[in-house]
């Protein structure tokens, strides 16, 4: 079988055949007129016959040239369709995360999509803190778990550190932890354990600890706190965006670690794709900022 002609030369021929002018073809291809002429001449030598008739006022296609122009147009049309179709089948990463981490995660996923539209992410939220990759078809998940008990598939994001948060309007009424006695406490859990842990570290006891409002998720407690309806106990790492925007403030410096943390994990016995590795590296670096 005769050796196939080089693809660059065929592309140059295709462009030249559409305008029948070496100068205009060179402008479209961003090469010199001489380079166009040499590629066409080389293609003709390879094929063993002429493709153009050189005339004083320009070029015209030979009979063989007209047949080649039709065939080459079809070939590059197929290549163009492949570029469009295959390029559109991008890897869509399925990411799961609990609602409590969404205040930190969602702005970063949106930023990732702006910076890396070639690696789209579909984010699923849940009240569950864990993931079971045997039953849940996710590529990765952000979980809430004890520090130091994670597998090698886990990337540490940040540790949980509890601290009270409130709307700026309440800040003038909170000078010491004892002032919390006169505020409505917002609980992200039914058992008040987060508030109890922080107050113990602060050396403060409140008779109003069991009162206030209870919420199913940390996110709901933070939202109500930002509206000025009370003081919530929150995780410092998860409220960074609210602090920057001025929706929430920290009345006290004390932050109490709980021994829990947030981790980015992927299924065991799997090799992460290049897109997933890039996303994991990027989120891990974001968590260190």
Q: What is the pLDDT of residues 66-95, one digit of tens each?
A: 999 899 888 888 887 776 666 555 578 999
Whether residues 180 and 237 fall in one domain: yes
Q: Where does the pLDDT of residue 1 fall: very low under 50, low under 70, confident under 90, or very high at 90 and above?
A: low
Strand partners, 235: 162
Q: Is 185 left (phi over 0), alpha (psi -120 to 50) or beta?
A: beta
Nearest one of 36, 64, 29 to 49, comparing CA atoms: 64
Q: What is the pLDDT of residue 267?
A: 92
Domain of 84, CATH number, reads: 1.10.10.10
Residue where one domain finishes, among candidates 88, 103, 135 = 88
Task: Say if residue 99's pLDDT is above 70.
Answer: yes
Does residue 2 form part of some domain?
A: no
Which burial class, exposed, middle or buried, applies to 70 when counting CB atoms under 10 A from its CB (0-12, 13-18, 19+)? Answer: exposed
Q: What is the pLDDT of residue 126?
A: 86
Neighbours of 154 (CB within 10 A): 15
- Residue 263 phi/psi, 5-degree rounding, is -135, 145
Q: What is the mean pLDDT of residues 278-282?
A: 95
Whether residues 33 and 115 fall in one domain: no
Q: What is the mean pLDDT of residues 134-161?
A: 90
Whether residues 147 and 168 fall in one domain: no
Q: What is the pLDDT of residue 122?
A: 94
Q: Where does the pLDDT of residue 248 fall: very low under 50, low under 70, confident under 90, or very high at 90 and above?
A: very high
Q: What is the pLDDT of residue 85?
A: 64
What is the tens place of the pLDDT at every residue in 151-198?
Answer: 788 999 999 999 999 999 999 999 999 999 999 999 887 788 899 999
Neighbours of 185 (CB within 10 A): 23
Does residue 118 form part of some domain?
A: yes
Domain of 213, CATH number, reads: 3.40.190.10
Whether residues 181 and 253 fall in one domain: yes
What gap in Å lies between CA 99 and CA 119, rounded to an integer? 23
Residue the block writes with tokens 């929430």:
248
- What mean pLDDT is reported for the chain? 89
Q: What is the pLDDT of residue 84?
A: 66
Give percent of the chain above pLDDT 90: 52
Residue where one domain finishes, among candidates 88, 107, 141 = 88
Nearest one of 203, 185, 194 to 163, comparing CA atoms: 194
Whether residues 181 and 239 fall in one domain: yes
Exposed e or buried b per residue across 245-265, where buried means at least 16 C-beta atoms within 10 angstroms of its C-beta:
eebbbbbbeebbebeebbbbb
Q: What is the pLDDT of residue 51?
A: 92
Strand partners, 123: 95
Whether residues 169 and 229 fall in one domain: yes
Q: What is the mean pLDDT of residues 274-280?
A: 94
If one counts the domains in the chain, the total is: 3
What gap in Å lies between CA 104 and CA 195, rounded to an integer? 21
Q: What is the pLDDT of residue 181?
A: 94
- The boundaries of the domain holding residue 67 are 7-88
């Amino acid at each position: 079988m005769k050796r196939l002609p080089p693809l660059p030369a065929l592309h140059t021929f295709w462009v030249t055949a559409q305008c029948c002018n070496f100068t205009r073809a060179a402008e479209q291809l961003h090469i010199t007129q001489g380079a166009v002429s040499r590629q066409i001449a080389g293609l003709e030598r390879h094929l063993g016959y002429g493709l153009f008739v050189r005339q004083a006022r320009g070029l015209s296609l030979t009979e063989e040239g007209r047949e080649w122009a039709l065939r080459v147009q079809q070939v590059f049309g197929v290549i163009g369709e492949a570029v469009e179709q295959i390029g559109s089948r991008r890897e869509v990463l399925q990411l799961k995360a609990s609602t409590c981490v969404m205040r930190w995660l969602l702005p970063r996923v949106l930023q990732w999509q702006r910076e890396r539209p070639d690696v789209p992410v579909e984010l699923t939220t849940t009240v569950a803190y864990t993931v079971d990759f045997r039953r849940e078809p996710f590529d990765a998940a952000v979980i809430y778990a004890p520090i130091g008990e994670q597998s090698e598939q886990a990337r540490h994001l940040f540790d949980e550190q509890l601290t009270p948060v409130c709307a700026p309007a309440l800040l003038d009424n909170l000078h010491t932890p004892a002032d919390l006695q006169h505020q409505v406490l917002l609980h992200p859990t039914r058992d008040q354990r987060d508030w109890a842990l922080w107050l113990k570290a602060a050396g403060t006891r409140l008779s109003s600890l069991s009162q206030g409002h209870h919420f199913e998720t940390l996110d709901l407690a933070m939202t109500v706190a930002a509206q000025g309806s009370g003081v919530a106990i929150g995780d410092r790492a998860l409220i960074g965006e609210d602090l920057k925007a001025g929706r929430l403030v920290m009345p006290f410096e004390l932050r109490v670690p709980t021994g829990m943390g947030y981790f980015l994990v992927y299924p065991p016995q799997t090799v992460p794709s290049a897109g997933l590795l890039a996303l994991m590296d990027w989120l891990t670096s974001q968590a260190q900022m």
